[in-house]
Amino acid sequence: MSDPKAIFLKDASVSTADGDQRAFIRKALGGYYVNRDLQKARFRNWEKARDAASMAKWSAVNDLGNQLEKFVGNFEKNGGVVHWAQDAAEAREIILKIAADAKAKAIIKSKCMTSEEIHLNDALEKAGYGVVESDLGEFIQQLRGEAPYHFVFPCMHVKREAISELFTKHLGTAPTNSPEELTMIARRHLRQLYVDADIGISGANFLVAETGQISITENEGNARLTTALPKIHIALAGIEKVVKNLDDLAILLPMLATAGAGQPMTCYNTLYSGPRQKGECDGPEQFHLVLLDNGRTRLLADPEQRDALHCIRCGACLNVCPIFKNIGGLAYGTTYQGPIGSVITPHLRGLKQWNHLSGASSLCGACTDACPVRIDLHHHLLHNRRNAVKTNPTLFDRVFHFGFNFVIQRPKLFAFGGKVFRTTLPLLKKLPLPYLSAWLKTRDLPTPPSQSFRAQWKDQNHE
């Protein structure tokens, strides 16, 4: 079974039936809502700040070519090396070559969703490198052999007992149910690995064109260590991460923290502008940046949905999404889960195979309201549905639209159809029909009026 839609339907129905898991996710998100609202209240005008944040990204994305060239020029002036990758395979090759040239053995990684997108760990492991994820959530998911559940909270679905078992099995530590002790086990295990690693791989949250700096946002300090101790630092980023000015971060960093995790500011927000400079006592000797397209220019070419490239990956849209909260993050089968994932995955991987995600939405608009950069998420889900019907209509779409067109243009046929429907509707209630019977178990089906609207209009009004 390799059809993403079939896998999605199966996985989503299994995870939705797991009431315990759903309650666990709701509870885990409960604290987030409280903290997010507290921090939002500290903003003097959250809505205006959203406007400014969305304009900052809009003006960079709509001038992407110039801004990228400016960024690259400044990055190179600071002593970094830029590599351009059109797709996942090219990005993997570039990174493998840097590792081979450096005769590296051990690689430490900080959180980087783009590396999940290109399946970097598999490629590095196959080539014989030891790769360790250092973000606690990613480290746990790596040990579990599972993709991240949520692109900001990778293991939010895993209970502490399971983590304790996992650590006992892989690290040989004594069982414990304390999140603090579990965190300290990972801390102790990883510290020496930072010191020993030859290469540190990170992502990037923003690329600042004005200064050629990359900005990395994190809470744990693992990205700071990953980019401080190994001899080589490789950062991997999508081309859409660029912002024009350093000043833009004065708005984007607090908004990312508040929308993403209900914090005033994430614990470490770090700007890197090159390898170790003259007069600095530590830092990597080489600093590489891999700029990845991998379908982003396809999304850029669609002006209607171009604003999806404004995404700063805060995860706010997942946290409020009724679909995410019920089916969970793994069922999506994508690198980016939730509403933003459902919008962009069809562009990155193909509309035909991934359009079903746009149907997995109640179109309630909670995601659009939550988005700090005002991406019109729920309308884009509708746009994807429309585009899918236009470009790849299913047999049902074709028959249905043909039938609808046929009937709607013939008033007599339409009136006859209405009459048939009005008389048979009460009977439908009694028949054991798929879907309908389940729906009607807890709902009333109103009795249809004896006359159609058109007939009533004629009688009552006016002709």
Q: How far apart are alpha carbons 94 and 99 in whole angstroms?
A: 9
Residue 206 backbone phi and psi in degrees, to 5? -145, 145
CB of 112 to another protein, least distance (A): 16
Cβ proximity to another protein: between 52 and 440 the closer is 52
CB of 313 to another protein, least distance (A): 16
Element housing 345 (H / E): helix 338-349
137: left (phi over 0), alpha (psi -120 to 50) or beta: alpha
* Tokens describing residue 105: 């053995």
CB of 389 to another protein, least distance (A): 22
Cβ proximity to another protein: between 121 and 134 the closer is 134
Cβ proximity to another protein: between 178 and 424 the closer is 178
Cβ proximity to another protein: between 264 and 411 the closer is 264
Closest CA to 423 of 400, 443, 451: 451
Count of residues for the chain? 463
Cβ proximity to another protein: between 304 and 459 the closer is 304
CB of 222 to another protein, least distance (A): 4
* Tokens describing residue 144: 């579990």
Closest CA to 287 of 455, 143, 102, 139: 102
Residue 238 backbone phi and psi in degrees, to 5? -70, 150
Alpha carbon of residue 362 to chain centroid: 18
Q: How far apart are alpha carbons 265 and 205 in whole angstroms?
A: 14
Provide the residue type at 443 as one letter: R
CB of 324 to another protein, least distance (A): 15
CB of 329 to another protein, least distance (A): 14
Q: How far apart are alpha carbons 243 and 443 in whole angstroms?
A: 51
CB of 161 to another protein, least distance (A): 10
Rg (CA), the chain: 26
